[in-house]
Amino acid sequence: MASLKVPERYIEGIVKVAQLSEEGFDEFLRALKKAPEFRDVAELSAWIADETPKISSSDRIKILKAITPMFRVQRAADVSPSTFAADIWSSISEDVPDRVNSLDDRLLISRIKQLMELGSLDLINMKIMELKSELERGFCKVRILTDLRPVFKGNIEEMPSTMVILHTLQIGYHDGMGDHKEFYVTLDESDIEALSEALDRASKKAGTLKRLAEKSEFTLG
């Protein structure tokens, strides 16, 4: 069984690496060797476009979208490019054999190995996503449900004379495995004020740090 699981969304791009003509792959490799550090796939693809006339824009984007995240996985796994390339082949040949049975396994492994040795694939946005995903839970969405609830007396058949406003804070998040989960917290008016003040304070601190970054000529992710 393969020690690496290649996500479905990357398989098409990886397969296209093996389907490139020899001349097309050589162009691709030479262009990436010369490329400086970029923020995302769009910037990198645009930079190498003139250097890779044998590859369509669509194929170039699909390949880069597959191999740039794989580059970060290989670095995080701390395995050699050749071992990682062999693991990629094992994974896709087990999971989608019908899509790779016409490919030359040695050719794909060799090409992936060469690509994994290129520092230009280490995109800034990929590093940012990796840093964010290192936390146990990643924020996904938030809702606040507001209810007016009656306060019943000892005799529940007697009409209530008091009502209370309660808010339910619903927070959605992704766990370390990427699964979506939710949890709920009940809030009253004072809790809403405290939460609002905390968020406002966080926004002001972010503004201060942004000004510091601008003075220091840092780029914010």
Indicate whether 120 pLDDT > 60. yes
Task: Considering only residues 83 and 161, tell me which one the structure prediction assigns the higher pLDDT.
Answer: 83
pLDDT tier, 161 (very low <50, low <70, confident <90, very high otherwise): confident
Average pLDDT of the chain to the nearest whole number: 87
Q: What is the 3-state secondary structure (H, E, C) of the chain?
A: CCCCCCCHHHHHHHHHHHHCCHHHHHHHHHHHHHCCCCCCHHHHHHHHHHHCCCCCHHHHHHHHHHHHHHHHHHHHHCCCHHHHHHHHHHHHHHHCHHHHCCCCHHHHHHHHHHHCCCHHHCCHHHHHHHHHHCCCEEEEEEEEEEEEEEECCCCCCCCCCEEEEEEEEEEEEEECCCCEEEEEEEECHHHHHHHHHHHHHHHHHHHHHHHHHHHCCCCCC
Indicate whether 193 pLDDT > 50. yes
What percentage of the chain reaches a pLDDT higher than 70?
Answer: 90
Indicate whether 2 pLDDT > 60. no
pLDDT of residue 1: 46
Domain boundaries, the chain: 8-132, 137-215
pLDDT tier, 198 (very low <50, low <70, confident <90, very high otherwise): very high
pLDDT of residue 38: 86
Task: Considering only residues 61 and 124, tell me which one the structure prediction assigns the higher pLDDT.
Answer: 61
pLDDT tier, 203 (very low <50, low <70, confident <90, very high otherwise): very high
For the stretch 74-87, pLDDT in tens is 888 889 999 999 99
pLDDT of residue 214: 78
Residue 141 CB-half CA count within 13 A: 5
Mean pLDDT of 200-206: 91
